[in-house]
Amino acid sequence: MDEGEFEFDFFSERPTATEEEEREEVLWEEDLPDLHDHDAHEHGAPAPAPPPEIIKRRRIAAAVAVALVLLIILIVVVTSGSGGDGGPYRSYLDKVSPIAADSQQAGASLSGALGAKQTASLVAKLDDLVQQTVGDITRLQALTPPLALRSEQAQALAALDLRLRGLQGIRDSLSQALGGSGASWEAVLSGQVDDLVTSDVIWDKSVSTPANAVLQANGVGGVFFPQSRFVADASSLRKSIRTVLQAGGVSTTGPVLSLGATGTDVTNWQTQLNAWLKLTAPTQTPLTVDGTFGATTRTTTQALQTASGLTPDGIVGPTTRQALQRALAGTKPSTTATTAPVLKLGDKGTAVTSWQTQLNTWLKLTAPTQTQLTTDGTFGAATQTTTEALQTAQGLAPDRIVGPATRQALTAALAKARSGATG
């Protein structure tokens, strides 16, 4: 058998391929040229390089795959707040939520305590609520918020600080009123309720609303910054306070007193003026509590009015009574903690933010066209200038430092501005 016959016999023994099988074989050969390379390698022949078109397609496919993976990673990082599922934001909100709820519960407890009409243990309950609020502030101060929520945290602390001030003011005022100091306390306490209401406005407008916008912008879905409403019904809270005062035998009004007046109302006024003198001028000789509104009582009344930024007419009306009660409530030492330090140029922190917020309220009521302060927690030149303007308007020495007298002056100015707006 010659060589040609051998080759003929070899191929004749191979099963005849169908047309479909031949088509599949061709496809396999095109897609997997390395099978031939491998076969050639086994027979000692060098493996031919893949065609340039195949190399090009492989490189493009690899580049597309890498780009797709990087794009997916980028989307996950950006939309999830760098934590896979908004981790830093969600973790922060998990810690803020119980603080917000606790503060809201303190507000409900305040309403409950005042509505119970049990004055015997009321001051002790208020002390507990003050301490609870101090604890809330301490817990919030210990948190480190995501960078995008730092401003909202500062505003939340300012809101809690206002709640603390309002609670302390109510506690101190009721303590003195129920202790038998007499005179009108309703207006003073109403102003302290205003602080609590303002804290709710700050939380809603400057905390939760912008914080939720930040969460949405960063793609953190399904969670929201917690609400925290301290005063559910301001008018109901004021009514409860009025009921407590009346139940404790405290007069919520008082007659106008002037030179020559006599009687128990004058005696009560002289007693309160002596309490104010003891706190502000301990070396001054106290008034003789004789129930007669003489020259000395008038002079001391004028001194109080001047210190409070009022016209020193020496006549005791509702505004002068309110000024005395605020002075007593603001200067009387409290057994509870406070976060209202002396503030000056260069100071920073939540106490500054709270002061700027209150100054803005004063500006809105007295100079609505003036540019509002930026509540950034930094006592800068603008805050200093506005503080000086307040002091000048209230008859204080314009030293541009926020101390007890300046805080009292702002409280008095806000009460006067609000009464003018509603009158």
Residue 167 gets the label, from left (phi > 0), alpha (psi -120 to 50) or beta, of alpha
Tokens coding 372: 């509002």
* pTM over 0.75, yes/no: no
Question: How far apart are alpha carbons 88 and 150 in whole angstroms?
Answer: 13
Name residue, tokens 């005849």: 16
Average pLDDT, the chain: 78
**Separation in Å, CA 348 to CA 263, 290, 380:** 50, 49, 9
Closest C-alpha among 110, 76, 113, 115 to residue 231: 110
Tokens coding 245: 């005062």
Give pLDDT, residue 331: 41
Give pLDDT, residue 256: 84
Q: At what angle do helices 186-202 and 404-422 cross, to 10 degrees?
A: 90
Give pLDDT, residue 250: 56
Question: How far apart are alpha carbons 141 and 135 in whole angstroms?
Answer: 10
Spelled out in words, what is the top-level CATH class assigned to the domain 350-417?
A: mainly alpha
| Residue pLDDT, tens place only, 373-420 | 998 889 999 999 999 999 888 877 888 888 877 887 787 777 666 555
| Residue pLDDT, tens place only, 40-77 | 555 555 556 667 777 777 788 777 878 787 877 766 55
Question: How far apart are alpha carbons 65 and 79 in whole angstroms?
Answer: 21
Give pLDDT, residue 196: 92
Walk along the chain (423 residues) in steps of 10 and give the mean pLDDT of each run.
Answer: 49 50 48 50 58 77 79 61 66 95 95 77 87 92 92 89 88 74 65 88 91 92 93 91 75 76 86 82 84 92 83 83 71 42 86 86 86 90 93 84 80 64 45
Give pLDDT, residue 324: 79
* Domain boundaries along the sequence of the chain: 87-247, 264-331, 350-417
Chain centroid, CA 38 distance in Å: 72
DSSP characters for 345-374?
TT-BSHHHHHHHHHHHHHHHHH-TTSPPPP
| Residue pLDDT, tens place only, 197-223 | 989 999 998 899 999 999 999 988 889
